[in-house]
Structure 1
């Protein structure tokens, strides 16, 4: 990364209030560092110079993030978060990310055109939810479309909701209650070759995964000791009607190259949030955000439930602190959808969705992507 790129990234990281949704739990070392950061970010371009990046925002009239891309009926649809300026100034558990609705986009790789299909679901129409419509995903079965999303219930605990529609663009009608046995954030739904669907989910810190270590919710953050394995993403098979889990969620273990579970202190490789699953040449790929180190890492397994072996990095840190992605194949090409904060000049909670091509090597590894131009 060039000095200019390092300056931009460092400025945003230091001045971003150090939260995420995708989110982050780091804190500045001292007040002097914070003061220096404030002056640095003021000097950064607003918005950031388009010439710095390998791709540009897909839409520019609204802020979008956490893009889950799916191919339905031969067309790419994107299910992002819809970032808004909330006026929240606290840097608690991702409080600044207080999204109120979902929009659906469609993208044509041949022309680069993106269509905004408008509001698909609003918080006020989710009976059980109180706030924070964070990163969603979508699935299709028998011509019916399902939107899966996390939100805090009336007690402030994240659970998963599901809404249905006859169209991939909605509008979606939410079920009156959350999915039984669901918790945490960042659902992604994988359809295996046999037609069964599975939800992979979880996120630590603001995503509350660390509060479920005992198997039930405890309003206290409990993280692994330095010599203990990292917290795991969860997986559960969905019921035939796609509205519930058909089994209790299970851990997905991620190992290093020697077959040892990644430790919670291995912040460059361990799972933090934003899981995604795709399949390539018969292998299962689990990719995810490392959170406070800002990588999209990936691991490979022979079985959907794992264990997975860490293999490398899909995406290096982007401009704007948080990192959240999806990987999808359309015709003969693979695409990586992700977000940064180019439009807002680096404001952590005001992001924009982007896309670039992704390539697998002959040995099954993924070519690492740097979102900055050389």
Structure 2
């Protein structure tokens, strides 16, 4: 019996040491509605979370036609601001076009909403308030698969970073990540669309590839490129000293969930870094009825990110 206890203690000790290398934390939900593809931003001390509207899709596909907004001043109490924008704002788009994962950026007191529509175009809407009302900023798509060169399979999942020098970058795309500079007006491309190169992706049994959901952050002078590896996908990350890359693969942020898609975003708020993503935790949830959650994220002094275990 004593020997058995010693073996059990050794196993428990090993388990504790393994768990210690991960960040295990609670993951509260932001809403009792189905929403997905979180795009959280801090504007004037408030978190505004823009999302796709899974509540009103068919339940058979990601075919909602508007976006939802949820806000919080403390990441504990969340206010549903409603469906604040529809694809009908873009007169060049069909009123039944799919409204997919968006992103938002603020510049000079204006808020720019980057809207992937129908799976083949990205529009831009603008407002003087993070809550809207938003209007079409261009009258034409910013990115159009039928018009532009090197947009890839699907120009979706836009993600915008304004660098310290004021240069804005737009990432997007499935299967091959794309990046392009934006002009200071935030509604025009400034140069060609480029592929984003990722070095060191694992091969063999642990093979990792780019799928979708690019997101770009800058912490401590280093650029962090997070993305989903596919369908289903892990959330992984790569780093670079340049926003356009090449990027070096660093590891897993969030492992596979029991859902066909994953989509993440990272923000700093109240002195902490937070990871937002979607799952299917609400009753009746599934691949097309997703729910948004969030958890603290640890970025260490050596530049590595602790893997999150929900």
For this structure pair, what is the TM-score category when the shorter chain's length is used for normalisation? 0.7 to 0.9
In structure 2, list runs of 5 or more residues that go unmatched.
1-24
Gap change, CA 1:104 and 1:346, over 3 Å in 2:
closer
Secondary structure of the residue that 1:246 maps to in structure 2? Answer: coil
2:127 corresponds in structure 1 to 165
2:66 corresponds in structure 1 to 101
User: Scaled by the length of structure 2, what TM-score is found?
Assistant: 0.83
Alignment of 1:310-329 (within 5 A): 310-329=249-268
2:91 corresponds in structure 1 to 127
1:54 corresponds in structure 2 to 26
- The reply to whether residue 115 of structure 1 matches residue 83 of structure 2 is no
- The reply to whether residue 358 of structure 1 matches residue 302 of structure 2 is no
Q: Distance in 1 between matches of 2:39 and 2:208?
A: 22
- The reply to whether residue 174 of structure 1 matches residue 102 of structure 2 is no
Secondary structure of the residue that 1:245 maps to in structure 2? Answer: coil
C-alpha deviation, 1:239, in angstroms: 1.4
1:244 corresponds in structure 2 to 188
CA contact (8 A) 1:320 1:342 kept: no
Higher relative contact order (CA 8 A, sep 6+): 1
Secondary structure of the residue that 2:273 maps to in structure 1? Answer: strand
CA contact (8 A) 1:119 1:171 kept: no
Alignment of 1:55-94 (within 5 A): 55-60=27-32, 62-87=33-58, 89=60
Secondary structure of the residue that 1:193 maps to in structure 2? Answer: coil
Gap change, CA 1:199 and 1:267, over 3 Å in 2:
farther
Which structure is higher in strand share?
2
Gap change, CA 1:294 and 1:330, over 3 Å in 2:
same
Gap change, CA 1:74 and 1:316, over 3 Å in 2:
same
C-alpha deviation, 1:301, in angstroms: 0.5
Q: Distance in 1 between matches of 2:206 and 2:140?
A: 35
Secondary structure of the residue that 2:231 maps to in structure 1? Answer: helix
Gap change, CA 1:142 and 1:266, over 3 Å in 2:
farther
Gap change, CA 1:173 and 1:344, over 3 Å in 2:
farther
Alignment of 1:1-374 (within 5 A): 54-60=26-32, 62-87=33-58, 89=60, 96-109=61-74, 112-130=76-94, 131-152=97-118, 158-175=120-137, 176-180=139-143, 181=148, 184-204=155-175, 232-256=176-200, 268-371=207-310
In structure 1, list runs of 5 or more residues that go unmatched.
1-52, 90-95, 205-231
Q: Distance in 2 between matches of 1:72 and 1:271?
A: 30
C-alpha deviation, 1:81, in angstroms: 0.9
The two structures, once aligned, show a CA RMSD in angstroms of: 2.0
Secondary structure of the residue that 2:307 maps to in structure 1? Answer: coil
Q: Distance in 2 between matches of 1:74 and 1:267?
A: 41
Gap change, CA 1:333 and 1:86, over 3 Å in 2:
closer
Secondary structure of the residue that 1:84 maps to in structure 2? Answer: helix
Q: Distance in 2 between matches of 1:68 and 1:86?
A: 19
1:117-136 Cα offsets, whole Å, 9 max, x none, are 22221122221222111000
User: Scaled by the length of structure 1, what TM-score is found?
Assistant: 0.69
CA contact (8 A) 1:150 1:160 kept: yes
Secondary structure of the residue that 1:329 maps to in structure 2? Answer: strand
C-alpha deviation, 1:85, in angstroms: 4.9
C-alpha deviation, 1:267, in angstroms: 7.5
C-alpha deviation, 1:150, in angstroms: 0.6
How many residues align? The count is: 275
